[in-house]
């Protein structure tokens, strides 16, 4: 994997660059749509490629492990072949499920036992196992097995958890270094900074992670309910320590405003379920602000979803029609909303990149943040 930074904003730490993987290039800053089970819900790969123009999508180790199972994906020739995406992919390690499925797992120094949410069967995930599975799945970027801590999280817990995540990282690296991708191309392991909302822990974690010299580095355990100011504070502190010349990935973020602010702090990569999940639930992100398309006020608004938009959903469908589809529970509603939202996120990233290249990012960002978070 190769990362080159081509431009830096004149104000702040925003930068534009390109990540090169064996499955193709990724211009940064980048937003990566989440495709947990190997599919971005409600979408065809064709739409993701040709209409939304996503350069990379996510998959999830825990979910793909349970279904369809590692062997199936490996037999298919890797996740990109199995799902027909054929472009770069990133798999999360299952660390987020330690947080999101905390009631059906048991956490120990050695690893985590998950009780499958599908059939209750027990599965022991260790750092080594998380790497082995991700080797078989074959994503271009794979993640270290970490614990995503909840919020609020007391200092002692956050500190112990961070130490475990660090020890797990060493085990991940060891396993990663003595294995190869069975599909013949190269994979890159990203370690993850933890430390909850405690600055000293975050700094220590960032130092620890930076010292590993990985191809890219991630920040996890944020956007789990803490005030945004804390999230920005932690991100800024960590970015100051993580290597400048490697991509920085802020996991699970976020709203358009969160993303624009974090780009200013030096983040290059993002992922979030918000444009897809919230889209399926009727929330539309637009260039003028946020719309709850189910609201009665849109019932006779025949204007296009996004008059200036470039994706077909933006100008081919009206707000009134999309509201009708949601109210009628038509599955086309989820499809249109998802394409629209992801199209918007992609546009936002492209625009951010152009502003960075032009050296005008920071001023542009201030105007956009206010505009994008308005409720229409």
By CB under 7 A, is residue 261 in contact with RNA?
Answer: no
DSSP collapsed to 3 states, the chain: CEEEEEEECCCCCCEEEEEEECCEEEEECEEEEECCCCCCCCCCHHHHHHHCCCCCEEEEHHHHHHCCCHHHHHHHCCHHHHCCCCCCEEEECCHHHHHHCHHHEEECCCCEEEECCCCCCEEEECHHHHHHHHHHHCCCEEECCCCCCCCCCCHHHHHHHHHHHHHHHHHHHHHHHCCCCCCCCCCEEECEECCCCCHHHHHHHHHHHHCCCCCCEEECCCCCCCCHHHHHHHHHHHHCCCCCCCCEEECCCCCHHHHHHHHHCCCCEEEECHHHHHHHCCEEEECCEEEECCCHHHCCCCCECCCCCCCHHHHHCEHHHHHHHHHCCCHHHHHHHHHHHHHHHHHHHHHHHHHHHHCCHHHHHHHHHHHHCCEC
DSSP state of 277: I
Map the footprint of RNA across residues 158-177, applying CB under 7 A: none
Among 38, 55, 216, 220, binds RNA (CB under 7 A): 220
By CB under 7 A, is residue 221 in contact with RNA?
Answer: yes
Give catalytic residues, as residue numbers. Answer: 92, 271
Map the footprint of RNA across residues 48-77, applying CB under 7 A: 58, 60, 63
Total binding residues toward RNA, as defined by CB under 7 A = 58
Among 268, 271, 306, 314, binds RNA (CB under 7 A): 271
Judged by CB under 7 A, the stretch of 8-16, 35-43, 235-243, 303-311 that binds RNA is 35-43
* CB closer to RNA, 8 vs 271: 271
Q: Compute and round to an integer the Cα radius of gyration of the chain.
A: 20
Among 41, 49, 81, 287, binds RNA (CB under 7 A): 41
By CB under 7 A, is residue 40 in contact with RNA?
Answer: yes
By CB under 7 A, is residue 235 in contact with RNA?
Answer: no
Judged by CB under 7 A, the stretch of 22-30, 268-276, 304-312, 363-371 that binds RNA is 268-276
Map the footprint of RNA across residues 189-208, applying CB under 7 A: 192
* CB closer to RNA, 2 vs 296: 296
Instruction: Supply the minimum distance, in Å, between the C-beta of residue 59 and RNA.
Output: 8
By CB under 7 A, is residue 274 in contact with RNA?
Answer: yes
Judged by CB under 7 A, the stretch of 11-19, 21-29, 77-85, 142-150 that binds RNA is 142-150
Q: Cα–Cα distance between 67 and 75 in angstroms, integer?
A: 14
Map the footprint of RNA across residues 286-315, applying CB under 7 A: 292, 294-297, 299
Among 281, 288, 303, 374, binds RNA (CB under 7 A): 281
Q: Provide the binding-site residues for RNA, judged by CB under 7 A.
A: 34-36, 40-41, 58, 60, 63, 92-93, 95-97, 99-101, 103-104, 117, 143, 146, 148, 192, 218, 220-221, 223-225, 228, 251-255, 258, 271-274, 276-278, 280-283, 292, 294-297, 299, 327, 329, 331, 334, 375
């Amino acid at each position: 994997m190769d990362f080159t930074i081509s431009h830096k904003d004149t104000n702040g730490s925003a930068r534009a660059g390109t990540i090169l993987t064996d499955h193709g290039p990724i211009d940064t800053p980048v937003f990566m749509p989440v495709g947990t089970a190997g599919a971005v819900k409600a979408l065809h790969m064709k739409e993701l490629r040709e209409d939304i123009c996503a350069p990379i999508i996510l998959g999830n180790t825990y979910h793909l492990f349970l279904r369809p199972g590692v062997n199936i994906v490996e037999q298919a020739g890797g996740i990109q072949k199995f799902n027909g995406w054929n472009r770069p992919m990133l798999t999360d390690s299952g660390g987020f499920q330690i947080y999101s499925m905390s009631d059906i797992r048991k956490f120990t120094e050695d690893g985590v036992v998950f009780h499958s949410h599908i059939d209750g069967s027990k599965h022991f995930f260790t750092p080594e196992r998380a790497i082995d599975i991700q080797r078989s799945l074959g994503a271009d970027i794979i993640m270290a097995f970490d614990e995503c801590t909840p919020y609020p999280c007391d200092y002692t817990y956050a500190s112990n958890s961070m130490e475990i995540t660090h020890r797990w990282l060493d085990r991940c690296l060891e396993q990663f270094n003595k294995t190869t991708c069975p599909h013949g191309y190269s994979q890159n392991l990203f370690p993850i900074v933890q430390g909850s909302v405690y600055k000293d822990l975050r700094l220590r974690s960032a130092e620890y992670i930076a010292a590993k010299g990985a191809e890219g580095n991630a920040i996890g355990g944020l956007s789990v309910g803490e005030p945004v100011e804390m999230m920005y504070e932690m991100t800024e502190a960590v970015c100051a320590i993580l290597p400048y010349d490697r991509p920085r990935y802020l996991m699970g973020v976020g709203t358009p405003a969160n993303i624009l602010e974090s780009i200013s702090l030096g983040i290059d990569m993002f992922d979030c379920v918000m444009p897809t999940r919230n889209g399926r639930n009727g929330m539309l992100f637009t260039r003028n602000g946020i719309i709850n398309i189910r609201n009665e006020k849109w019932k006779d608004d025949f204007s296009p979803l996004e008059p200036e938009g470039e994706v077909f959903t933006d100008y081919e469908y009206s707000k009134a029609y999309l509201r009708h589809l949601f109210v009628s529970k038509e599955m086309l509603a989820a499809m249109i909303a998802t394409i629209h939202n992801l199209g918007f996120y992609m546009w936002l990233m492209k625009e951010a990149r152009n502003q960075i290249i032009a050296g005008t990012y920071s001023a542009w960002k201030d105007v956009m943040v206010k505009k994008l978070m308005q409720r229409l």
